[in-house]
Amino acid sequence: MLIVIGIPIAIIAVIALIVLAPGWTRAGRYRPGDSWDHEPVLIGGGGSKAVPALDGAQQPAQLTAGSSDAGTGDDTVGGISVRW
């Protein structure tokens, strides 16, 4: 009885544990489509650091928003905007 039922159940339990365990350890992982409710993070060569406050007075007024995969067209800065 133990061999016929116990061993298969034990094998199934071990396999289930192997499959599900990585998911448990990554419970906080971002999944596309989820909302993002974490605090903003700024990471540089020295690790994470405080995110600078951005009020209206600090925002450079002369900079305009890019909106596509193309360049920004701004003379002072480069870079791109992408959505995935």
Partner 1 sequence: MLDGNSDAIDGVWNDQDPFSSAQISNLASTIRSAEQVAKVQFETFVGRLPEDRKTALALHGQLVHADDSVLVAVDPHSRGLEIVVGAKAKQSIDDRTCQLAALAMTSRFVVGDLINGLRDGIAVMADHAHPNHVLHRDLPENA
Residues that bind partner 1 (CB under 8 A): 22, 25-32, 34-36, 38-48, 51-52, 54, 58-60, 63-67, 69, 71-72, 76-84
d(CA 30, CA 27): 9
In the complex, minimum distance from the CB of residue 3 to partner 1, in angstroms, rounded to a whole number = 36
Q: How far is the CB of 8 from partner 1 (least distance, A)?
A: 29
- State which residue, 14 or 42, has the beta carbon closest to partner 1: 42
Instruction: Tell me the residue type at 42.
Output: L
Strand partners, 49: 42
Q: Collapsing DSSP states into helix, strand and coil, what is residue 71? A: strand
